[in-house]
Amino acid sequence: MNLDINDWKEFTFGRLICSIAKTKALNKDDLQIATNEKSGIRYITRTGENNGCEFLAELSSVDSCFIQEGNAITIGDTTATCFYQSEEFITGDHMVVIRADWLDEILALYVVTILNKEQYKYSYGRAFLIDRIKNTLIKLPIILNDDGTIYNDTSKKYSDDGYVPDWQWMENYIKSLHHKPLTTKNTHNTTPDLKADSWKYFLLKDICSITMGNKMDYSAMSMDDPIVNFVGRSADNNGVAGKVDFVIYDNGNIVKPYKAGCVTVALGGSLGSSYLQVEDFYTSQNVSVLEFEEVVSDSAKLFITTCIMNESKYKFFPFGRELNTHIRTDFGFTLPIQRKANGEPIIDSTYKYSPQGYIPDWQWMEKYMKSLPYGDRL
């Protein structure tokens, strides 16, 4: 199906839904982690990962008044992370739940994708609060009469102009998307043991160059001939908010985008979200850019992005221990190192990567990533 948005119309999101409300929050420290999936309930927080689910909580430890029914959209108001919840769930703080009479799993894929495009506008300093959610304008296809004219709803339920969203078209579009199940020849048995207790500590600034990005504003970018990716602080879509035009200096020269192969790290929003960029890109504020030597393969960079996200998850947080004040100084983690045949560390006499002379084993990292299930598709 052709996705031509020229004839779509704007709707105020609050007119499309039945209810929107803050949830009763549970502190994760008061919950027990479920021992198995059957005894657990999804604990939804502001994280941008795993459909917003931080972990499965033991259902028996949860009072029924905190349980939310499924078939709902959840939004973390300070991060603007938006997901569809098909099953019962509980939430952490700063969570909003939205319900609508048209909502189902398929239409949710369509609408949530549109809402997540708003994420770049919001952060801890400018939260995606209920009034802002309700007043958000989104463009949707509309119902037409058989002769191609616009259908007019005299009740004006969704729009003062009488436009009606074409939910059936949206559902058909999602169902029409072609996809094939991913296959892999790898199994967990093909993946080597990490043996992380033998890894050594490295500072990030010693294994790559770190810059603080372009610091551009996505909302101010022109999109007449969009060709360059724009990377923001989102955990969705590899951090890419969309495509924009080349930026031109006053003298007529183009602001050169960062090259494909760099790694981006969100210093705000979805804090610590780290991605390998496969196309040239610009960045928003609070996004750092990491550039590695040619010897470091894309697979090894993916290994590093995982280390960065794991290190950021529990040690850094906004308005406290912020990542942007540490990433170019004392931010680090352990990595596998190059060793001799007898197992002794290979020491670099230039001490390029660490004061001890240890050398990251880039080749082992690449091999490990390619050995994971679906890693053979990298």
> In this structure, are 107 and 256 located in the same domain?
no
> In this structure, are 51 and 123 located in the same domain?
yes
Total of domains in the chain: 2
Domain annotation covers residue 1: no
**Total residue count of the chain as it appears in this document:** 378
> In this structure, are 153 and 193 located in the same domain?
no
* CATH code of 303's domain: 3.90.220.20
- β-partners of residue 90 are 43
Radius of gyration from C-alpha coordinates of the chain: 24
CA distances 234 to 4, 231, 287, Å, are 26, 8, 10
> In this structure, are 50 and 152 located in the same domain?
yes
Last residue of a domain, one of 116, 142, 176: 176
Task: Give residues with Cβ within 8 angstroms of 110, minimum separation 6.
Answer: 170, 171, 173, 174
Closest CA to 80 of 212, 241, 274, 222: 241
Last residue of a domain, one of 143, 176, 209: 176
3-state helix, strand, coil in the chain (%, to 5): 25, 25, 50
**Model-level pTM greater than 0.75?**
no
> In this structure, are 91 and 156 located in the same domain?
yes
Domain annotation covers residue 4: no
> In this structure, are 252 and 306 located in the same domain?
yes
Q: Is 257 exposed, middle or buried (0-12, 13-18, 19+ CB in 10 A)?
A: buried
> In this structure, are 200 and 86 located in the same domain?
no
Q: Is the dihedral of CA 50, 78, 237, 140 positive or negative?
A: positive
> In this structure, are 241 and 312 located in the same domain?
yes
CA of residue 103 relative to chain centroid, distance: 23
Please say whether the beta carbons of 274 and 264 come within 8 A: yes
Q: Is 299 exposed, middle or buried (0-12, 13-18, 19+ CB in 10 A)?
A: buried
pLDDT tens-place values along the chain, 378 residues long: 677 788 999 999 999 999 999 999 999 999 999 988 888 999 999 888 889 999 999 999 899 999 999 999 999 988 888 999 999 999 999 999 999 999 999 999 899 998 888 776 776 667 788 999 999 999 999 999 999 999 999 999 999 999 999 999 999 998 888 666 778 888 777 788 889 999 999 999 999 999 999 999 998 999 888 999 999 998 888 999 999 999 998 888 999 999 999 999 999 888 899 999 999 999 999 999 999 999 999 999 999 999 999 999 888 877 677 899 999 999 999 999 999 999 999 999 999 999 999 999 999 999 999 999 888 887
Three-state secondary structure call for residue 85: strand
Please say whether the beta carbons of 78 and 25 come within 8 A: no
Domain annotation covers residue 42: yes
Domain annotation covers residue 59: yes
Q: Give the pLDDT confidence score for residue 193 in this predicted structure.
A: 87
Last residue of a domain, one of 176, 196, 230: 176
> In this structure, are 299 and 352 located in the same domain?
yes
Q: Which domain holds residue 326?
A: 188-377
Q: H helices within the chain, ranges in order?
A: 13-16, 105-116, 130-135, 167-176, 204-207, 298-315, 362-371
Please say whether the beta carbons of 58 and 90 come within 8 A: no
Domain annotation covers residue 182: no
Domain annotation covers residue 43: yes
Q: Is the dihedral of CA 71, 11, 127, 229 positive or negative?
A: positive
> In this structure, are 172 and 218 located in the same domain?
no
CA 97, CA 78: separation in Å to the nearest integer?
A: 14
> In this structure, are 224 and 359 located in the same domain?
yes
Domain annotation covers residue 3: no
CA of residue 327 relative to chain centroid, distance: 20
> In this structure, are 101 and 21 located in the same domain?
yes
Domain annotation covers residue 181: no
